[in-house]
Chains A and B, each alone.
Chain A
């Protein structure tokens, strides 16, 4: 009975949102520019919704609570990095947008092609972006599966349910493109906000009288839980600072975030967004309250299971309709960004790899390839889901480690008068990836507690500089001759 009620509510929320998104974009005629970057016409309100829609995902909903439950203070990095990224974005995004409009860039790799005049570099960026979007899609999948399992009260074939939900969202994305993502985000954000308020305010009040009461109990039971460990320790303060810096650099490097930037009507829209988006981060504070409440009331969850923390609490002690509503909100928070991520991953490979290098000869072939790739991305995310068994934060950090490697190339192309050679940028990216592969195979953490992605980013920048110096040194005599 509980399962029927909860699942019916989840289904209503998802189908209602789909209908809203499809109705909202019915009148817009879709060409590629409309489809991928919304005709570059979004004002500040739609941009705000689009960006919030892409960044506040299942991860925010469950992963932040899971880390507050499982690790404590290191989870605070989630509050910091978005804010630092918005500060950087105030200066960076208008410049990116200008280039994109002049050169009619539609994807993240297009930006590299435009700035460095190198299809090869664009292809490399597309492939790396594709690979590192997979863990991000897996993150959404893991979250959705977890929510549906809880809403099913043990009655549901999770894999089937996730498959159906994914298919519905992929179909929706094809139909409406980026306009749909932005408009769906309105419903998504309002539902998620309500879900977060329930989890972050109602739960601590129910058990401890107030959020402060919950925190008091956590500190009484675990005095060190809400402060960072010694600088060099795992997840200590050196890790914390380097992770905030790394993830802030990677924030706008994701292909779907680049496309979101291109959708802005003008530069001013992007600046205004950068000013006010930090306030959105405060929502995460409520998610921490939910996770910390669960730590006391529902202790004993280990590893990835901690991601279920406050949902298990709701399931155990609250009525099914409430479980259904919160699970529905969380599912939406996974599906809307997942559709954008899947489409982003598929379109960069079909456009910047298969299209640019003449494997696909016309638009019809490219559309077909994009559709096939959508299925490939979803399948790879399923496979990664089955083998990785990571926490949601763990999955997110894998994606950020990879995406951040684009940062030096993007920034140097915008600020330096003499752009580095595409070869130097490419070598830097490859070197960064080699460092990531080394750390993941060796299974060790970075030196002095540094985030491994940050180490990779430093190596990336050094290699970029060395290769560029070598290229310049070999060119100068040639010019003098």
Chain B
């Protein structure tokens, strides 16, 4: 069951989940600025909004690696 190939996939899944989770926690202070503004939003708020919009794509990728139909 626990073949190396599955193992690599588990690592990939953890990585895919960790990216948006880290972006919306530890990443936030790094984006803590007003300029440049994006569609009138201060950079910090735009950064958060973009990451929220991207999160479903990462989760969908994990879902795909699990081979659901």
Contacts and interface: CB of A to CB of B under 8 A. Distances in A.
B17 A90 contact: yes
A278 B29 contact: no
A282 B53 contact: yes
A240 interface: yes
A288 B56 CA distance: 22
Contact of B20 (A83, A213, A223, A241): A83
B17 A215 contact: no
Nearest to A85: B21
B40 A241 contact: no
B44 A226 contact: yes
A90 B17 CA distance: 9
B19 to A, nearest CB: 9
Interface in B16-53: 17, 20-21, 24-26, 28-29, 32-34, 39-42, 44-45, 48-49, 51-53
Given A83-B20, A226-B34, A210 B52 contact: no
A215 B55 CA distance: 25
Contact of A90 (B28, B53, B59, B68): B59
Contacts of B58: 87
A227 B62 contact: no
A80 B25 contact: yes
Contacts of B28: 76, 80, 228, 237, 240-241, 244
Contacts of A211: 40
Given A212-B40, A223-B34, A226-B34, A285 B55 contact: no
A51 interface: no
A226 B42 contact: yes
With most chain A CB atoms within 10 A of its CB, the pick from B20, B33, B42 is B42
A268 interface: yes
A390 B45 CA distance: 26
Contacts of A226: 34, 42, 44-45
Contacts of A271: 63, 68
A282 B52 contact: yes
Interface string A243-284: 011001000000000000000000010011011101101100
Main secondary structure of the interface of A (DSSP, over half): helix
B48 A76 contact: yes
B60 interface: yes
A86 interface: yes
B68 A241 contact: no
Given A87-B20, A237-B32, A278 B41 contact: no
Interface residues of B, number: 30
A85 to B, nearest CB: 10
B29 A241 contact: yes
A278 B59 CA distance: 10
Nearest to A226: B42
Contact of B25 (A86, A219, A244, A282): A244
A240 B44 CA distance: 13
Contact of A275 (B41, B52, B59): B59
Interface in A62-91: 73, 76, 79-80, 83-84, 86-88, 90-91
B44 A227 contact: yes
A231 interface: yes
A83 B45 contact: no
A241 B24 CA distance: 8
Contacts of A282: 49, 52-53
Contacts of A216: 40
A210 B25 contact: no
Contacts of B42: 215, 219, 226-227
B24 A84 contact: yes
Contacts of B41: 212, 215
Interface string A91-104: 10000000000000
A212 B45 CA distance: 12
B49 A285 contact: yes
A268 B34 CA distance: 40
Interface in A391-411: none
A90 B25 CA distance: 18
A248 B28 CA distance: 15
A87 B55 contact: yes
Contacts of A76: 28, 44-45, 48
Given A90-B62, A228-B44, A241-B29, 14 more contacts: A76-B28, A76-B44, A76-B45, A76-B48, A79-B48, A90-B17, A215-B40, A227-B42, A241-B28, A268-B68, A278-B59, A281-B52, A282-B52, A285-B45
28 contacts: A73-B44, A73-B45, A79-B48, A83-B55, A84-B20, A84-B21, A87-B59, A212-B41, A216-B40, A219-B34, A223-B34, A226-B34, A227-B33, A227-B42, A231-B29, A240-B29, A241-B28, A241-B29, A244-B24, A271-B68, A272-B63, A275-B59, A278-B52, A278-B55, A279-B52, A279-B56, A282-B49, A282-B52
